[in-house]
């Protein structure tokens, strides 16, 4: 499987199973509850890929078993569909085709990775999920939200994130960061060229104009304000450390967990 430059920090579902179930040897007496489902959202350059590994590490230090994954992607099929979705050669793809491919990748991801992990008590940290569809296909492309909601129901049933962290930055700030990231030298030997274009080329979404991303951001904020119990809007315009503190504080307040230091296990504190 090939990976883009932005994947350097992510270890996302490379084997299509994600490696969950680790660290449970000799723990048969411990009854794990269902894992928590955390989603990171935001416009391009909001800092998701920087924050996700920090959260993964902090939760791991507290004895919480996690799986980090992403959308579109997270499975071999999903990563192949991602390559199609991001490929600038398909500029002008029909919005309905784009919507259905997003949900096709999501169906596979849920069945093969997300649901088994949650059932095993693993916390799933997901870089984007269905809010991105409402924001990009709904806000960006103008697809009717009711059509997206119908697919959400069909594909996900009752599965919804426990917490969606919307990393919020002004669109201009995010796009400037994303532009700088593309120009950074790659430090992975397997850093790929999945589109067949230069590795620092903007993908099909990154080529959209500022107004597209303003609509995307507006949908994220509207959805977050409408369901404050499920969402947290994090001001991500500050430096990485400040944003990381905001993210970690929000998670521990909203999804408290306790460490069982002697057993190396955890229990959701709710
Ligand atoms: P990424 O840049 O965060 O890896 O995400 C890839 C792109 O896919 C990003 O521009 C947002 C877009 N996207 C959608 O348009 N709809 C979706 O449902 C998802 C998950 C991502």
State the greatest distance between any 2 C-alpha atoms of the chain, in Å, as a whole number: 56
**Percent of the chain residues topping a pLDDT of 70:** 77
Shortest CA distance to 67 belongs to which of 106, 112, 124?
124
Contacts of 36 (CB under 8 A, 6+ apart): 118, 123, 124, 162, 163, 255, 268
Residue 257 has pLDDT above 80, yes or no: no
CATH label of the domain that carries residue 67:
3.40.50.300
Read off the pLDDT of residues 69-102 as tens digits, 9 standing for 90 and up.
999 999 999 999 999 999 999 999 999 999 999 9
Domain annotation covers residue 59: yes
Owning domain of residue 193: 28-268
Domain annotation covers residue 10: no
Task: Give the pocket of ligand 1 (CB within 6 Å).
Answer: 44, 71-72, 102, 127-128, 132-133, 136-137, 205
Domain annotation covers residue 23: no
**Percent of the chain residues topping a pLDDT of 90:** 73
Domain annotation covers residue 20: no
Q: How many residues does the chain have?
A: 270
**pLDDT class of 196 with cuts at 50, 70, 90:** very low
Domain annotation covers residue 97: yes
Predicted pLDDT at 11: 46
**What atom of ligand 1 comes closest to residue 6's alpha carbon?**
4
Question: Count of domains in the chain?
Answer: 1
Q: Which of the two residues, 195 and 206, has the higher pLDDT score?
A: 206
Predicted pLDDT at 265: 45
**pLDDT class of 199 with cuts at 50, 70, 90:** low
Residue 2 φ/ψ, nearest 5 degrees: -105, 150
* CA distances (Å), origin 43, targets 163, 179, 247: 17, 13, 16
Domain annotation covers residue 16: no
Predicted pLDDT at 47: 94
The mean per-residue pLDDT over the stretch 248-258 comes to: 89
Q: What is the pTM of this model?
A: 0.84
Q: How far is the CA of 154 from the centre of ligand 1 (A)?
A: 20
Domain annotation covers residue 116: yes
Read off the pLDDT of residues 23-66 as tens digits, 9 standing for 90 and up.
333 333 344 699 999 999 999 999 999 999 999 999 999 999 99
Domain annotation covers residue 95: yes
Q: How far is the CA of 177 from the centre of ligand 1 (A)?
A: 16
**pLDDT class of 256 with cuts at 50, 70, 90:** confident
């Amino acid at each position: 499987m090939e990976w883009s430059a932005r994947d350097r920090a992510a270890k996302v579902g490379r084997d299509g199973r994600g490696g969950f179930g680790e660290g449970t040897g000799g723990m048969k007496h411990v009854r794990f509850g269902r894992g928590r489902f955390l989603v990171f959202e935001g416009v391009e350059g909001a800092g998701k890929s920087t924050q996700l590994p920090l959260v993964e590490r902090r939760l791991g230090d507290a004895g919480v078993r996690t799986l980090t994954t992403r959308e579109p992607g997270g499975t071999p099929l999903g990563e192949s569909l991602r390559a199609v979705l991001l490929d600038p050669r398909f500029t002008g793809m029909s919005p309905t085709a784009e919507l259905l491919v997003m949900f096709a990748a999501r169906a596979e991801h849920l069945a093969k990775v997300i649901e088994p992990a949650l059932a095993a008590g693993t916390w799933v940290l997901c870089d984007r999920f269905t809010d991105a569809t409402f924001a990009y296909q709904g806000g960006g492309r103008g697809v009717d939200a009711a059509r997206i909601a119908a697919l959400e129901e069909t594909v996900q049933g009752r599965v919804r994130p426990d917490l969606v962290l919307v990393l919020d930055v002004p669109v201009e700030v995010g796009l400037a960061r994303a532009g700088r990231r593309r120009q950074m030298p790659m430090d992975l030997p397997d850093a790929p060229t999945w589109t067949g274009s230069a590795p620092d080329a903007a993908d099909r979404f990154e080529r959209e104009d500022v107004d597209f991303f303003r609509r995307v951001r507006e949908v994220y904020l509207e959805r977050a304000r409408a369901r404050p119990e499920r969402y947290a809007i994090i001001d991500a315009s500050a430096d990485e450390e400040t944003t990381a503190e905001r993210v970690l504080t929000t998670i521990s307040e909203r999804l408290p967990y306790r460490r069982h230091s002697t057993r190396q296990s955890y229990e959701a504190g709710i």
